[in-house]
């Protein structure tokens, strides 16, 4: 492992991902930072990391990570804000009740971050619990723009596979359409559903069977799975998870605010 990446001195590894390792590092200008380093520096992965840097450089929002530098020596790396909070996926494994207690803060942060991106013509393309960080204080960061796209970008494929994650990927994108604002709304709805019920809306069985359920729009209302979830939340989430893009809300930030309004006062922290 290299001890430095540009002006950033490595302190210790934080996360070992599929294609990259994230290190805690230090820098005189920014103090503690996170440095994402590619382990397999093929051309496609380098382009994705450079695209993530360019997009985050032009996006400013409290729920998006600040970026400081991109470099290619000794390995391709992206230096960015260090955020002291694990992914919501880890939160769900360790303390799902705490996630439900913080669900309004999560939805507000994620929805507002997507609203900022969409206003700049950027689609995230892979919203899911793994790509949302949550601090003990309830602060949120939407991360991993390596698969994000703009209206001018060509359809993205990574390692020969379509961008996105089955279960959160809108059915039209799974069928070959380019990711769009409505598919981000869909993924946010799938994520919100899981935060409230401890289960994804369509997952189970094979990839093909999951996509088939998504295409049919067959989903159990969350209020039937978790006592305390208001029926008004059912109506909003089922719209966000509609199989046809034209039936979904067109504004991620507004949909998140509507969910939060419907959740006001709901007793969500306890176990069933």
At a CB cut-off of 8 Å and minimum separation 6, what does 59 contact? 116, 117, 120, 122
Residue corresponding to tokens 């899911």? 128
At a CB cut-off of 8 Å and minimum separation 6, what does 192 contact? 103, 107, 237, 240, 256, 259
Active site residue 126: yes
Buried b (16+ CB within 10 A) or exposed e, 202-239: bbeeeeeebbebbeeeebeebbeebebbbebbbebbbe
Q: Work out the number of other CB atoms within 10 angstroms of the CB of residue 264.
A: 9
Of 149, 161, 158, nearest to 45 by C-alpha is 158
Omega cis (within 30) before 74: yes
Catalytic residue among 95, 126, 198, 234: 126
For 141, counting Cβ atoms within 10 Å of its Cβ (0-12 exposed, 13-18 middle, 19+ buried), the class is: buried
CB 45 within 8 A of CB 38: yes
Q: E-strand spans in 197-262?
A: none
Tokens of 223: 């209020």
Question: Could you list the active site residues?
Answer: 126
């Amino acid at each position: 492992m290299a001890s430095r990446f540009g002006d950033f001195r490595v302190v210790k590894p934080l996360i070992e991902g599929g294609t990259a390792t994230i290190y805690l590092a230090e820098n005189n200008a920014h103090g503690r930072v996170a440095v994402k380093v590619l382990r397999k520096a093929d051309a496609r992965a380098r382009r994705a990391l450079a695209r993530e840097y360019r997009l985050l450089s032009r996006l400013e929002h409290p729920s998006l990570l600040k970026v400081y530098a991109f470099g290619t020596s000794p390995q391709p790396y992206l230096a960015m804000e260090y955020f002291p909070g694990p992914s919501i996926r880890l939160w769900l494994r360790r303390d799902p009740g705490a996630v439900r207690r913080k669900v309004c803060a999560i939805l507000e942060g994620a929805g507002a971050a997507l609203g900022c991106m969409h206003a700049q013509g950027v689609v995230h393309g892979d919203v899911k619990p793994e790509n949302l960080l949550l601090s003990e204080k309830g602060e949120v960061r939407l991360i991993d723009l390596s698969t994000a796209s703009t209206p001018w970008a060509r359809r993205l494929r990574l390692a020969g596979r379509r961008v996105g994650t089955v279960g959160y990927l809108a059915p039209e994108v799974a069928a070959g359409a380019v990711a769009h604002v409505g598919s981000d709304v869909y993924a946010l709805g799938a994520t919100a559903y899981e935060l409230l019920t401890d289960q994804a809306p369509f997952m189970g069985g094979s990839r093909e069977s999951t996509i088939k359920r998504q295409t049919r729009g067959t989903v159990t209302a969350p209020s039937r799975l978790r006592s305390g979830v208001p029926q008004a939340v059912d109506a909003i989430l089922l719209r966000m998870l509609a199989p046809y893009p034209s039936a979904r809300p067109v504004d991620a930030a507004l949909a998140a605010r509507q969910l939060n309004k419907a959740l006001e006062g709901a007793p969500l922290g306890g176990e069933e």
